[in-house]
């Protein structure tokens, strides 16, 4: 094994310690904790001999120069921001594995032909501004002026948030990267599901990444006394919202035995005034539909919104829906998949080809260059929770596979 498993593990533990103590493990994008993490990462990039920069989209980049900087470069990375009370591996494992690979090339005097960028993408998780994959959308030119104006509950726009972490919002009206600047991009990530662990496999070679549609749904009824207001004249926003949540669940279950991968979730729901003896006057909730087919996703979202509209009309509630974000389904490049498979064989790692039900920055990068992903197993398939876990060995096998895959892609 070329990579230094101990160094990689120590870095994972160090970054994991930078968390909101009240709700481990939390390091939200745009927070002071995230900035502390960025500062630490910058020092680690420098220690690995990388040239450090922050691009206009707020992505932190460590570059290992190759023999010919004129060639399209290679890239690897993920994100170091977390969901609230998330884990220590989601995203973080990918950034630190890429850093470990670059550090090992440097230690062992391996000179790639191409420059190799280690990237910590800004705000891969849905941020307080409501938008996810902020940094990778900047690279592909998918940050609209409307998105840059999204506000956070703490005040301030996304554009101001990007500027505060060293980005340049004024430069985001066009893609930061052109096609052909990257020869290939590979992201290592925990599977966030149970398959690899169940089948005792070390590596997942990802074939495609689901598309994700997020909608804000708003229901506006009327607050009334819960004891004296007859059922027949109530305008209960939460009843209308609840029927819509149930419809999302039914819609997704209807696709269980079909080839398309479909999941639907309402994970965020705010009720007003949220008092036990008041008929709810308002509900704001986020509907998320993930699917391997963009057209199927669109029809499911439309049908769920139809139920919301009909239930609201029946209950005298006003209904509105707005698209928050849409990330199309992405196919991983066959050549990159083949390089990852060859790296598994080279390192003797057991593997399987599999799709990703989670969204990743690699899906954005696949619009710019051949992109692929390396999954490593995680304990009980759990993620987006403090119990998220992978072993030092699982992480090291993943990093070694990345080490070999990048070298193979470099010679292409």
As measured in angstroms, the least distance from the Cβ of 30 to Mn ion is 16
Dihedral over Cα of 5, 31, 166, 328: its sign: positive
As measured in angstroms, the least distance from the Cβ of 133 to ligand HGY is 8
Give the integer Cα–Cα distance in Å for 294 and 306: 18
Nearer residue to Mn ion within complex by CB, 79 or 407: 79
As measured in angstroms, the least distance from the Cβ of 33 to ligand HGY is 18
CB 365 within 8 A of CB 182: yes
Give the integer Cα–Cα distance in Å for 8 and 13: 9
As measured in angstroms, the least distance from the Cβ of 264 to ligand HGY is 14
| Packing angle, helices 92-107 and 392-410, rounded to 10 | 60
Dihedral over Cα of 194, 200, 202, 205: its sign: negative
> If you write DSSP's letter for every residue of 174-226 in order, what string do you get?
S-SS-TTSEEEEEEEEE-SSSHHHHTT-SEEEEEEE-EEEEEEEEEE----BT
- Residue 338 contacts by C-beta under 8 Å, 6 or more apart in sequence? none
Contact map string, positions 240 to 279, toward ligand HGY, x by CB under 6 A? ----------------------------------------
- Residue 302 contacts by C-beta under 8 Å, 6 or more apart in sequence? none
Nearer residue to ligand HGY within complex by CB, 132 or 400: 132
As measured in angstroms, the least distance from the Cβ of 213 to ligand HGY is 12
358 binds ligand HGY (CB under 6 A): yes
Count CA atoms within 13 Å of residue 194 on its CB side. 2
As measured in angstroms, the least distance from the Cβ of 121 to ligand HGY is 11
Residues 200-239 that bind ligand HGY (CB under 6 A): none
CB 183 within 8 A of CB 73: yes
Query: Using omega within 30 degrees of 0 as the cis cutoff, is the peptide bond preceding 25 cis?
Result: yes
77 binds ligand HGY (CB under 6 A): no
360 φ/ψ sector (left φ>0, alpha ψ -120 to 50, else beta): beta
Q: What is the DSSP letter of 273?
A: S
**Alpha helices (H) in 274-391, listed in sequence order:** 294-314, 334-347, 361-365
Q: Which residues bind Mn ion (CB under 5 A)?
A: 90-91
Nearer residue to Mn ion within complex by CB, 15 or 283: 15
CB 139 within 8 A of CB 365: yes
Nearer residue to ligand HGY within complex by CB, 317 or 324: 324
81 binds ligand HGY (CB under 6 A): no
Count CA atoms within 13 Å of residue 202 on its CB side. 20
Nearer residue to ligand HGY within complex by CB, 311 or 358: 358
359 binds, among ligand HGY, Mn ion, none (CB under 5 to 8 A by kind): ligand HGY
Nearer residue to ligand HGY within complex by CB, 90 or 115: 90
124 binds ligand HGY (CB under 6 A): yes
- Tokens at residue 347, please? 């390192």
CB 283 within 8 A of CB 271: yes
Nearer residue to ligand HGY within complex by CB, 30 or 116: 30
125 binds ligand HGY (CB under 6 A): yes
297 binds ligand HGY (CB under 6 A): no
Q: Which of 221, 280, 282, 359 binds ligand HGY (CB under 6 A)?
A: 359
- Tell me the number of residues near ligand HGY by CB under 6 A: 5
Nearer residue to ligand HGY within complex by CB, 125 or 236: 125
135 binds, among ligand HGY, Mn ion, none (CB under 5 to 8 A by kind): none
Nearer residue to Mn ion within complex by CB, 115 or 191: 191
As measured in angstroms, the least distance from the Cβ of 90 to ligand HGY is 6
As measured in angstroms, the least distance from the Cβ of 233 to ligand HGY is 41
The site for ligand HGY (CB under 6 A) is made up of 90, 124-125, 358-359
């Amino acid at each position: 094994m070329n990579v230094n498993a101990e160094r990689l593990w120590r870095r994972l533990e160090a970054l994991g310690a930078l968390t909101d103590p009240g709700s481990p493990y939390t390091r939200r994008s745009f927070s002071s904790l995230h900035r502390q993490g960025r500062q630490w990462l910058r020092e680690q990039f420098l220690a690995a001999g990388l040239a450090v920069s922050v691009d206009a989209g707020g992505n932190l980049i460590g570059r290992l120069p190759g023999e010919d900087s004129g060639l399209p470069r290679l890239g690897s990375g993920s994100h170091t921001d977390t969901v609230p009370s998330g884990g220590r591996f989601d995203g973080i494992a990918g950034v630190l594995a890429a850093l470990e690979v670059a550090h090992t090339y440097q230690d062992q005097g391996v000179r790639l032909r191409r420059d190799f960028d280690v990237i910590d993408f800004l705000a891969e998780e849905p941020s307080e501004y409501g938008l996810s994959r902020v940094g990778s959308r900047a690279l592909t030119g998918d940050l609209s002026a409307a998105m840059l104006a999204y506000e956070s509950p703490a005040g301030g726009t996304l554009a101001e948030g990007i500027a505060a972490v060293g980005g340049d919002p004024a430069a985001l009206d066009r893609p930061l990267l052109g096609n052909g600047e990257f020869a290939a991009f590979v992201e290592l990530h925990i599977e966030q599901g149970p398959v690899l662990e169940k089948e005792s496999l070390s590596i997942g070679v990802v074939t495609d990444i689901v598309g994700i549609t997020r909608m804000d749904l708003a229901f506006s009824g009327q607050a009334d006394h819960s004891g004296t207001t007859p059922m027949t004249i109530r305008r209960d926003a939460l009843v209308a919202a609840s029927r819509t949540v149930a419809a999302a669940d039914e819609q997704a279950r209807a696709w269980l035995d079909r080839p398309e991968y479909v999941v639907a979730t309402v994970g965020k729901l705010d009720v007003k005034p949220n008092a036990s003896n008041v008929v709810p006057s308002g509900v704001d909730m986020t509907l998320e539909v993930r699917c391997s087919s963009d057209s199927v996703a669109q029809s499911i979202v439309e049908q769920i919104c139809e139920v919301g509209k009909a239930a609201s009309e029946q209950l005298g509630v006003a209904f509105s829906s707005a698209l928050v974000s849409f990330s199309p389904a992405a196919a991983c490049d066959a050549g990159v998949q083949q390089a990852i498979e060859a790296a598994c064989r080279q390192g003797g790692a057991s593997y399987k080809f599999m799709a990703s039900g989670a969204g990743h920055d690699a899906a954005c990068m696949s619009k710019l260059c051949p992109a692929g992903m390396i999954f490593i197993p995680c304990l009980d398939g759990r993620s987006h929770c403090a119990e998220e876990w992978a072993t030092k060995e699982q992480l090291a096998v993943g990093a070694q596979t990345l080490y070999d895959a990048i070298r193979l892609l470099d010679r292409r």
